[in-house]
Structure 1
Amino acid sequence: MNRTGTARWYGGIKDGKGTLTTESNTLSNTPYSFSARFKDGSGTNPEELIAAAHAGCFTMDLSGRLGAANMVADEIDTTATLTMEKTDKGFTITKIHLDVKAKIPGGDVYEFQTAVGRAKEGCPVSRLLNAEITVDAQLVS
């Protein structure tokens, strides 16, 4: 399986601008820029897209693992907070923290936490990232 994304950039790093497009056209010429990445400018940036991808991947993986433990969530909400810091190698994604709330009527806390830990380690985006990944997970029944 291959998936593609395209980036186009026009101009210099600080005064330039670009667009991002995904194969599915979910992003279609979506603007991004230096100010969207490092300041409060409009548009998206690679780091928030990584955070969204990680939240989505983790949540789907968790759903599958919960199903294997005979639990079906009414709802799973995951927020991924990505930390990027300037290091001696340049800007580096150093951490991603996942905040998870799952509504599972009659859910078993131990099985839930076990599934969360396995999803954190096993989702493809987690395995791709070379960053510290932490999770706070709350089961709401």
Structure 2
Amino acid sequence: MSKHYASAYWEGNLPKGNGKYTLKTSGHVGSLKFTTRFEDDKSASSPEELIGAAHAACFSMAFSHALDQGGFTPEKIETEAEVTLGKNEGGFAITGILLKTRVKVSEIADDKFNEIANGAKENCPVSKALAGVKIELEAKKV
């Protein structure tokens, strides 16, 4: 079993405070602000953006592997995750994720491409961890 570590800290109250997150392996440090979650503030990241990055990366890797296992060689996979933060009966929640992926792969029929893409969406570990969230996929060959 493999373990991976990240940490975060927060200073101040929620609306006016700020924080940082650290990814242990790479040492990457990023900023966090409340306004990046609910306003048009591009000066820092949000937890939802970090979940989106993790999901896009996990899906891309799973899709690459699934294509390879199916006998296809992907040249490039680019995936963007659109994470929606909304309200439900329990308060604020991630209510949906749209994965938009563009893949350069040759000699694969559209139906097989879509079958493998949907399998990767269902089986990547981050998708499984987000099982309570509606996850949609737009997959295109380029």
TM-score, length-normalised on structure 1? 0.93
CA distance, structure 2, for counterparts of residue 9 and residue 21 of structure 1: 12
Alpha-carbon separation, structure 1, partners of 2:27 and 2:107: 36
Q: What is the one-letter code of the residue matched to 1:32? A: L
Across the aligned residues of Structure 1 and Structure 2, the Cα RMSD in angstroms comes to 1.2
Q: Deviations over 1:32-90 (max 9, x none)?
A: 11112221221111000101110100010000000011111111111111111122211
Match of residue 133, structure 2, among 128, 131, 134? 131
Gaps of 5+ in 1: none
| 8 A contact 2:87–2:95 mirrored in 1 | no
Amino acid at match of 1:107: I
1:111 maps to what in 2?
Answer: 112
- Segments of structure 2 that go 5 or more residues without pairing to the other structure are none
Identity of aligned residues (%): 35
* Number of positions where the alignment pairs a residue of Structure 1 with one of Structure 2: 139
Q: Which residue pairs with 2:99 in the alignment?
A: 98
What code does the residue aligned with 1:37 have? R
TM-score, normalization by structure 2: 0.92
Matches within 5 A, 1:1-141: 1-28=2-29, 30-41=30-41, 42-129=43-130, 130-140=132-142
